[in-house]
Structures are given as C-alpha cells and as structure tokens.
Structure 1
C-alpha cells in the first residue's frame, strides 16, 4: 500500500528519533533494572549497647542524613508503645522522607507448655497491631530457641545448634511453631501485615526448617524474612532456597569485626541471587560490627547501593 505524505513524514520522524536515541530503538529488548530501596534497622545504631542511640526518632534522623530510603524498627529498642508515640514515630519518618519498611520482633514457640506458647501467640498478635498502627507492612517473626544452651555465647560457639528440651523432639517443635504462627494469621490479614519467618536460630536455623513451616501453613500472610548473616557456613545456596519467598532482605555488615563472628559476604553475588528470584523489595541493613555506627553505617549503605542499586 503506497505511503501518503503524512504517513511518510511520521515514519521518517520515528526513524530519526530511534536513530538518535538507541535506547528507544532497543526499548522492547531491554529489561528494566530493579533498584531495591535500601533501609536500615534501628538496631544498626543501638546494638543493645549504645544508650545515646536508642531513641527511634534519633535513628530516623541519622538514616535520613545518611541517605537511606527506609527504616526498620527493632521492637526491643522501643521504650514506649503508647498510641501517641507510635503515631509520632510514623510522622517522624514521613517528614524525613522515609518509609517504615519492617518491624523486627521476638517470640518463642518452642515450649512444651501450652500456656507459654499461648502467651507468645498473644504477644505476636499485639506486635502485629503495633506494626499496623505505625503503617509498617511486614514484621519479622521467628520460632524461638530451645533455651538449652547456657547462654547466647555458648549458642554462638555451637554455631546456633542446641538440643531440644529433654523429653521432647524437633518434630514436636515444628508442630508447636506451625500451630502458633497459624493462630496469628487472622490478625495479620486483618491488619495487612505480612509476617516474615526469619532464618534465625531454633527451627529456622536451616532453609529446610524455615520452608517446612512456611509451606505447611500455605498463607500469603506468612513468608520469609531473609537474613544474609545467619547462615554461618556456605550461605549462598541456602539464601537461594529462600529467595523466592522473601518479603524483606536483612543484610549484615561487620566493619570493625563482629561480636561473635564475622562473615565475608559477597553482596554482588547475593544481589544476583535476589534478582534471579525477581525480588523487588526492601534491603534492610543490620550493621553488626564494632566500628562506630556513624562511620560504618554510611560505608555499608555505599556497599549495598553498588550491589542492589
């Protein structure tokens, strides 16, 4: 069919535009790159030991000054859970241009006592409601520990491995954890807070343990919080197993050396693992080294930006 003058001019203009801008010509063949937003856990500043950096508002100020996109709040760092304080935290993040990307909590379901497990279910439900009030969309949960180690130092010496309570088995523990977390999901769905089971200690020490629980429950409201620093040996294959179900990626750095251990993590490699799994979510820094957080946290941000940005 012959071109009329108007069609010819339009086609010529489009060709010139494509020639002068190769990216336009190749747009159909170019897959957009994912830029993961980078957050920082308030734990990175406080670490249970820096009293002058315990204030959540202070941590938010530092995160904004350093150029982060978001903040993850450590529940144990909070000194006030009143509604007024929760709304002040939410507002403080907002006026600083930061999202609140996660709420890191503690609970324990590895107890033979039904009453103890119920107390931890009730605690977790309360924590979900706190996250909801602050507008936080995901919350870290864990199975808890058997508490058969003398202390945390001994647990770390044994690479996170500890035997079940006398007279009980890991098989029982999985049943307790599955039932307990299932009991929290109605509230999680009502509040719109996705729980992320972390590869932590206890039954979450291995990717198989985490997946056994998540796959048994089969709910979109229970997925995975993936911590790069909690697989102490050969981490990359293990991280890859959990990457497809990850809703928050926690990234450890150890400038100045770690307290219990130091891992030499290849974040370019980890970023590739997460991109392969189509992970588009937040990357949250958990700085765990001995260097001053005021210098180590910005270095960590630069490292993560290069890998995930």
Structure 2
C-alpha cells in the first residue's frame, strides 16, 4: 500500500526531531498560496503525554555581542548543566569544519546527555545574479553535509533579502521591510528561491536532513511568503521553521498559519530588553496553538536580550518548560 506525502512527512518529522522529557515549571511571558501540506497530525488528542523537548541555540550565548563568542563545546556543557534537552548549533559560531572538530562536538553532546537537534545556517537566494545564487546553493549543501556528519536532523534555511538596506540595524528599523532592487519585484524573486531550494533538496533528501524554511525577513517575512515557497516544492524534506520573534505585529494568527507545517520552532525571549526590539510574547497561547496543531518537536530557545545569559537563559528555560510541558 502506498504512503502519501502527508503521512510520510508527519512520521519523518516526528522521528527526525527526536524525543525529550519536559517537566512543568512556572508560567510567564518572554519576550493561500499553493496546495495545502500538513506536517503535523491535527488535534490535541493525538499528542502524547510528554511535553515538547526544549533546546537552545548556541546563538543564545553569543548574540553577536563582542567578546561573547563562546566555543560551542562550552555552550553544550552549559546547556546540559542548565537542563536543556538539546542544542541547536549556529553554523557561523563553529570554529572549524574539520571532521576532528565535528567529532569533538558529537562527543561533547554525548557525554553531557543532550541532542544535537538543529543547525542554523545563513544563505540568500533573493538575487537576479545566477552565480550569486549558486554560491549560496553550494554553501547550503555544504551545511547539509556538515549536519549529516554531526547527526543533526534539521537545518534552518532563509530566503535571503534584497540587500538594499545598508545594515541589519536599518532593516530592523524598517520592521523587516525592504525595497527590491531597481527593476525587480518580490514576484521575480519567488522562482529564484524555489529553484535554489530544490537544488539543495537533492542533497538533503539523500542525507535525510530536513530543511526548515524560517520566517526570517525577505520573502519569509510573512507566513504567506513562507508557505508559498514550501507548498510549491514537492519534498518530504522541506517544512516550516517557525520563529516566534520574527512576526513583529499580530504574531499569533501568523503562527496559527505556520503551525501545521512546522518541523522546528525557535522561541525568542528578551530579558533585559531586546537587542533590536522587544516583544511581549504569550507562550501559554503559543504552546496551545502548537499543541492543537499536533506539533511534538523541539522548541529551541533564542535568547535575544541584553541581560547576562547566565541569569536570563535559566529564566527562559523555566518559562518555556512551564508553557510547553
């Protein structure tokens, strides 16, 4: 009997994202296009008794702050000591791509009892320059191979932006809205992004690494943009990576749209005030949305505040445990 795509990807996502025990804690706040494609089994009745496993991105320790680029080994050790179930590696934070270094990271995770559950990568496919797109395809494929060697089942990918902002600070001042290059529109960019991701998926499918397209500016600034791309591509190895902090207005209705196809979630907190902005996110409400969609996978903390991480990260873990347990 054949297995249709919906059945396959639901099973694949649940298996790939693993399992982790979660215990309850305190409640609080932290900081149509195309065909339908549901990754998660709908309905809270289909949820198991455990809560979502809680991971942390190594970005949370660094936040691109000068002098705080901690070695990933240290991030893994501190995450384990704080009580996280998994670690999501920021590719830009890696000190090497040599096999010896990757093996060291795997061993560090093993002896500390945490999963390497995700990798956040950076790429940009929003460009009329075919050579530039190909460089970003090649970079993404390299990251897929790194994730495969590390045993990581999912990587974060972006659409990229037009690059017409002078800096990321300016992009944030404009609420993530950016003018296209002269002579082009966003409609021109969708085929570039779709074609580029399809090239990357040739390797992702071979390696069994799921690509999670994040709502991360560019064409991914809206749920409609993310879903238009994901729904246009017929692959069990492409899903949505939902970031709770990248919808700057009306996040809950937008998360509802993304939830059924989510394969990985990043959850932002902003203790001490945000680096670029601060959102008052209701994680009880977000957890209810994800539970009702049937999402069982990882919630990966991206702490993006000004507070000392040694105090803010444990508070963030407590917050997420309370909401998602």
How high is the TM-score relative to the length of structure 2?
A: 0.85
Query: Mind listing any 5+ residue stretches in structure 1 that lack a counterpart?
Result: 1-28
Deviation, structure 1 residue 255: 0.2
Could you list the per-position Cα deviations for residues 274-296 of structure 1 after superposition, in whole angstroms to 9, with x for gaps in the alignment? Answer: 00100000000000000000000
Q: From 227, 240, 249, give the equivalent of 1:233.
A: 249
Is 1:134 aligned to 2:150, yes or no?
yes
Task: Could you tell me which runs of 5 or more consecutive residues in structure 2 were left unpaired when the two chains were aligned.
Answer: 1-44
Write the deviation string for residues 136-188 of structure 1: whole angstroms up to 9, x where unpaired: 00000000010101111111111000011111111110010000000011100
Report the CA distance shift for 1:30/1:242 in structure 2 as closer, same or farther (over 3 A). Answer: closer
Q: Which has the larger radius of gyration?
A: 1
Moved more, 268-277 or 148-157: 148-157
- Establish whether residue 182 from structure 1 lines up as the match of residue 198 from structure 2: yes
Aligned residue runs from structure 1 range 1-309, under 5 A = 32-49=48-65, 51-309=67-325
Report if the CA contact (8 A) 2:59-2:302 is conserved: yes
| Distance change in 2, residues 1:50/1:304 (3 Å) | farther
- Report how far residue 53 of structure 1 moved: 4.5
Q: Which runs of 4 or more aligned residues in structure 1 lie more than 6 Å from their structure 2 counterparts after TM superposition?
A: none
Distance 1:188 1:144 in 2: 19
Residues 225 and 248, structure 1, Cα contact 8 Å, conserved in 2: yes
TM-score in terms of structure 1 length: 0.89
Q: Deviations over 1:63-115 (max 9, x none)?
A: 01100000000001111110110111011101100001100000000111111
Greater RCO, CA 8 A, separation 6+: 2
Count of matched residue pairs: 281
Residue 32 of structure 1 deviates from its aligned partner by 4.3
> Between Structure 1 and Structure 2, which shows a larger proportion of helix residues?
1
Deviation at 1:218, TM superposition (A): 2.3
User: Secondary structure of 2:89's match?
Assistant: strand
CA distance in 2, matches of 1:213, 1:46: 31
